[in-house]
Amino acid sequence: MPALVAKAFSVLSDYTHDFEVVVVNDGSHDDTGAVLARLQEEYGPRLRVVTHEVNRGYGGALRSGFAAATKELVFYTDGDGQYDVGELPKLLERMAPGVGLVNGYKLERQDPWHRILIGKLYNSFARRIFRIRLRDIDCDFRLIRRSLLDDIRLTSTSGTICVELVRKLEMSPLRVVEVGVHHYPRLHGRSQFFRVRSLVKTFLQLTRLYWRLVVAPAVTGKDRRLA
């Protein structure tokens, strides 16, 4: 975490003076809170910490981060070290007028073979049933216009928030641009996705999302693009 925060400040300081770094502590039971407190003393008010007393899941953490962000452009990535925030300028360079989302895609996934296989199957399945055009739904390296986040309502609490987010952003009138980024072996933490409870929750939330984003609009004939 300290290395990621330091890299973020370094990259952003070279690019602009108008920035903030928001870190969501999603109910951690280790020394994460103390570490973040020390980092706040070091970096000052530009480092803002959102703390959940209890774990709200990946989607809950991401929604809190979006709600806390105040700048015109919102970038997010995970804290597990699998992406290099040093590649953020590649996304910033592609954020032009008329573009609402610059989405990274993994040039080569650096995970165990079973995670790569399941990830490909999940990505292909979600893209097909939700009619998503992006090639990599689960690449958590995204730059989004604040105005779009203000217009959509996200409800997912699990990793399905990536599907919900991308689907709703693609249905906005602004364009989507894709940029290849590097992917690295996980440095911190363990993925919760492959636990039985998480898989069940993911399936149930995908089912609800499919009904709300695909089936219901088709049945009612109403425009629910950003609902």
pTM to 2 decimal places: 0.87
Instruction: Identify whether the C-beta of residue 2 lies closer than 8 Å to the C-beta of residue 187.
Output: no
H or E segment and range at residue 75: strand 73-77
Q: What is the pLDDT along the chain (227 residues), one digit of tens a residue?
A: 789 999 999 999 999 999 999 999 998 888 889 999 999 999 999 999 999 999 998 999 999 999 999 999 999 999 888 999 999 999 999 999 999 999 999 999 988 888 888 889 889 989 999 999 999 999 999 999 999 999 999 988 888 899 999 999 999 999 999 999 999 998 765 555 555 566 677 778 888 888 888 877 766 665 544 55
First-to-final CA distance of the chain: 34
Instruction: Identify whether the C-beta of residue 59 lies closer than 8 Å to the C-beta of residue 157.
Output: yes
Angstrom distance (rounded) from CA 145 to CA 176: 11
- Give the domains, in start order, of the chain with CATH numbers: 2-220 (3.90.550.10)
| 3-state SS class at 48 | strand
